[in-house]
Amino acid sequence: MRYRQLTSTGDYTFGQGNLNYVEKQEAVSQAVKTRLKLLLGEWWEDLEDGLPLFQVILLQRGNEDGRQTIDLLVQERILGTAHVTGISSFQSEISGRVYKAEAVIDTEFGQITETMGLEVGV
């Protein structure tokens, strides 16, 4: 897998030839991050693709049921990423309005660890 490298602010990198690309585990890691940042209805080419932040996540309460719903949505996005073969461990918590998760992800190239955070509903 080869993926155009993103800057720390999420922009594509240009002007350095092959140095503007990442491969294997780093590429899968970046693909997972971008899939989790894509919101449902945001991509004009496939309006059914994306994380349903406004449609589902923000409607969840900051309790165990809400956390489990968000966990399933996040895990589904991760597992739908190219070259991801599974999730070895997944931990999440909701503190106030902030959802945080950490996943150890199995890929065809080895394991990667991803963390994420979202502001959730009331």
What is the residue-averaged pLDDT of the chain?
91
| Residue-level length of the chain | 122
Mean pLDDT of 72-85: 96
Could you read off the pLDDT of 27-71 as tens digits, one per residue? 999 999 999 999 999 999 999 999 999 899 888 777 788 889 999
Q: Average of pLDDT values for 8-31?
A: 92
How far apart, in Å, are the Cα atoms of 32 and each of 43, 88, 96, 106?
Answer: 16, 15, 25, 12
CA angle 77, 10, 44 (to 5 degrees): 60
Rounded CA-CA distance 117/37 in Å is: 10
The average pLDDT across 83-106 equals: 93
Q: Which helix (H) or strand (E) holds 107?
A: strand 98-107
